[in-house]
């Protein structure tokens, strides 16, 4: 591993523009790290070496001509649920093994237009069903901080690729915490934007009313730079509104004095690891000491969130996966994994005659109550801070035969997907050698505020500067 592997997007761009190194040299540093570490961590399903080298050479040509694009020459990994023209896209499932899309997802197209170099496609729980990275048909992803433990999921490979210095940044999807949880478990920054802020077009659908398209970076400033590229209306996705996209980097250093931060009592529950609780409370104390107004709040319907999520999500999964019949493209349905089958059956049951009103329709009513909880909370506070996970990472295989226990790991994250609010997970230190993260949740389309709060904390503590391989 070279010094190039420690670079943030901002630092890498500065080095490229000053010609301290070339885009090809930068790329090779990351390809070499993939060669060293991927067999151990299983973060990548596909490495796009030849394509990436061509893109890096093109980036060097543009740099020599004086061009400056937002991500020019920056090696980016893509969760293997993003359609990539001419490159295998599997969604982590044998059903799509060998499938080569004829088009790029909107986010992929925007990244390429911004000059990014696509280094590879990362591992994930098949169809993004999972919280651990163990449900991939291509084998589990391992946590670089301790390879006996999970890195969180479903965007496991993307989080690990950034944490283990194999990519500068990576894309992910967050349907119930699938960016925020692995970010917390791997000492990376993970953004789940407002629902519709980033286009879902060309990304294999899991649960369409819950899917949010975000990313992993090394620090908060990089996350803001990345969202500058990916956010915005897309005519190909009717859920993307025409809300203005600001420059998310402009207010990073704004004074946070006077910002009202809510601490929901329902997110500090019995059974939460006391060391994790202490870690998050220390982070909250930072904001209080820096002039923020800390207020205890209540989100009274939180206890119903996990049950509501696991009715709505499987119902939408069963609908979305019905298209994979092995006739038009993909392989036969018998190649679905166990977790996919479980969710298809649960969803089909809740949508069936006689059960629709009792389960699905009732869940939609509770969803409305959860949305109202947040609406009322944001009349009193500007942002909410909460843990990402009640526990530290668990051992690989520890929860494999206990799906309910696995589902409960999302207890603090699913609500933001149900309500559509943005959430930013940032590192807050280490407990027993494992990274811990907090999430900052804000009103719809207020990602600027999350970046401001996250950046100010990060500049004081700089946890992002630690990586699993430092001596």
86 phi-psi bin (left φ>0, alpha ψ -120 to 50, beta other): left
Q: What pLDDT is stored for residue 149 in this prediction? A: 98
Mean pLDDT, range 299-321, rounded to an integer:
95
Strands across the sheet with 75-79, in order?
Answer: 44-47, 117-122, 75-79, 169-174, 212-217, 189-192, 423-431, 434-441, 383-387, 260-264, 293-297
Mean pLDDT, range 424-443, rounded to an integer:
98
Read off the pLDDT of residues 248-294 as tens digits, 9 standing for 90 and up. 999 999 999 999 999 999 999 888 999 999 999 999 999 999 999 99
Distance, CA of 102 to CA of 297 (rounded, Å): 49
The residue from 132, 136, 154, 318 that is catalytic is 154
Distance, CA of 53 to CA of 40 (rounded, Å): 24
Mean pLDDT, range 203-232, rounded to an integer:
98
The string of DSSP codes covering 318-344 is: HHHGGG--SSSSS--GGG--HHHHHHH
Confidence of residue 153 (pLDDT cuts 50, 70, 90): very high
Burial of 51 (0-12, 13-18, 19+ CB in 10 A): middle
Q: Would you call 55 helix, strand, or coil by DSSP?
A: helix
Residue 7 lies in a domain: yes
Read off the pLDDT of residues 400-431 as tens digits, 9 standing for 90 and up. 777 767 767 889 999 999 999 999 999 999 99
Give, for 439, the enclosing helix (H) or strand (E): strand 434-441
Residue 471 has pLDDT above 70, yes or no: no
Read off the pLDDT of residues 154-197 as tens digits, 9 standing for 90 and up. 999 999 999 999 999 999 999 999 999 999 999 999 999 999 99
Residue 181 lies in a domain: yes
pLDDT > 70 fraction of the chain, expressed in percent and rounded: 99
The residue from 11, 37, 79, 399 that is catalytic is 79
Q: What pLDDT is stored for residue 401 in this prediction? A: 75
Distance, CA of 312 to CA of 334 (rounded, Å): 24
Confidence of residue 329 (pLDDT cuts 50, 70, 90): confident
The string of DSSP codes covering 394-413 is: -BTTTTTT-HHHHHGGGTTT
CATH number of the structural domain spanning residue 379: 3.90.1300.10
Burial of 53 (0-12, 13-18, 19+ CB in 10 A): middle
Residue 183 lies in a domain: yes
Q: Is 209 a catalytic residue?
A: no
Tally of domains in the chain: 1
Q: Is 79 a catalytic residue?
A: yes
Distance, CA of 405 to CA of 311 (rounded, Å): 16
Distances (CA, A) of 84 to 51, 159, 201: 12, 19, 12
Residue 471 lies in a domain: no
Q: What pLDDT is stored for residue 354 in this prediction? A: 85
Q: Is 178 a catalytic residue?
A: yes
Distances (CA, A) of 37 to 44, 136, 204, 265: 10, 18, 27, 41
Distance, CA of 204 to CA of 194 (rounded, Å): 19
Residue 269 lies in a domain: yes
Mean pLDDT, range 17-45, rounded to an integer:
98
Task: List the domain range (segments joined by +) for residue 95.
Answer: 3-465
Distance, CA of 391 to CA of 60 (rounded, Å): 45
The residue from 93, 155, 158, 178 that is catalytic is 178
Q: What pLDDT is stored for residue 90 in this prediction? A: 98
Mean pLDDT of the chain: 96
- Give phi and psi for 362, each to the nearest 5: -65, -40
Q: Structure tokens of 113?
A: 């237009």
Residue 322 lies in a domain: yes
Q: Are 187 and 427 a contacting pair, CB within 8 Å?
A: yes
Q: Which residues, 6+ apart, have CB-to-CB distance to 419 below 8 Å?
A: 367, 370, 371, 373, 374
Residue 1 has pLDDT above 70, yes or no: no
Tell whether pTM > 0.85: yes
Residue 104 lies in a domain: yes
């Amino acid at each position: 591993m070279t010094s190039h592997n420690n670079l943030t997007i901002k630092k890498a761009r500065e080095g490229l523009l000053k010609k301290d190194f070339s885009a090809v040299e930068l790329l090779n540093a990351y390809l070499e790290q993939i060669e060293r570490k991927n067999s151990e961590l299983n973060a990548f399903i596909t490495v796009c070496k030849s394509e990436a080298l061509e893109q890096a050479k093109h980036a060097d040509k543009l740099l020599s001509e004086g061009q400056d694009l937002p991500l020019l020459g920056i090696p980016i990994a893509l969760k293997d649920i993003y359609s990539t023209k001419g490159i295998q896209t599997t969604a982590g499932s044998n059903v799509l093994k060998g499938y080569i899309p004829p088009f790029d997802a909107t986010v992929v197209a925007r990244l390429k237009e911004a000059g990014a170099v696509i280094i590879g496609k990362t591992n994930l729980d098949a169809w993004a069903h999972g919280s651990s990275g163990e449900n991939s048909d291509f084998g589990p992803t391992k946590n670089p901080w301790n390879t006996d433990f999970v890195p969180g999921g479903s965007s496991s490979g993307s989080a690990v690729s950034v944490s283990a210095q194999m990519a500068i940044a990576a894309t992910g999807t967050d349907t119930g915490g699938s960016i925020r949880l692995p970010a917390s478990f791997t000492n990376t920054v993970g953004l789940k934007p407002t629902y519709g802020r980033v286009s879902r077009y060309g990304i294999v659908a899991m649960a369409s009313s819950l899917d949010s398209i975000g990313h992993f970076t090394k620090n908060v400033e990089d996350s803001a730079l990345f969202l500058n590229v990916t956010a915005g209306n897309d005519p190909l996705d009717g859920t993307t509104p025409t809300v203005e996209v600001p420059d998310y980097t402009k207010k990073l250093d704004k004074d946070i004095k006077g910002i009202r931060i809510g601490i929901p009592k329902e997110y500090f529950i019995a059974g939460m690891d006391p060391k994790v609780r202490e870690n998050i409370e220390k982070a909250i104390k930072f904001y209080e000491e820096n002039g923020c107004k800390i207020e205890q709040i209540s989100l009274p319907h939180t206890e119903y969130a996990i049950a509501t999520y696991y009715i709505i999500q499987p119902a939408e999964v069963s609908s979305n996966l019905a298209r994979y019949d092995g006739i038009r493209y993909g392989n036969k349905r018998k190649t679905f994994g166990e977790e996919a089958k479980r969710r298809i059956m649960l969803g089909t049951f809740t949508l069936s005659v006689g059960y629709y009103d009792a389960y699905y329709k009732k869940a939609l009513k509770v969803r409305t109550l959860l949305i109202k909880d947040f609406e009322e909370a944001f009349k009193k506070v500007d942002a909410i801070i909460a843990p990402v996970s009640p526990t530290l990472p668990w051992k690989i295989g520890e929860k494999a035969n206990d799906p309910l226990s696995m589902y409960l790991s999302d207890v603090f994250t699913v609500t933001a997907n149900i309500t559509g609010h943005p959430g930013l997970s940032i590192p807050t230190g280490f407990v027993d050698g494992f990274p811990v993260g907090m999430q900052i949740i804000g009103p719809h389309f207020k990602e600027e505020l999350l970046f401001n709060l996250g950046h100010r904390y990060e500049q004081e503590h700089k946890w992002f500067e630690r990586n699993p391989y430092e001596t």
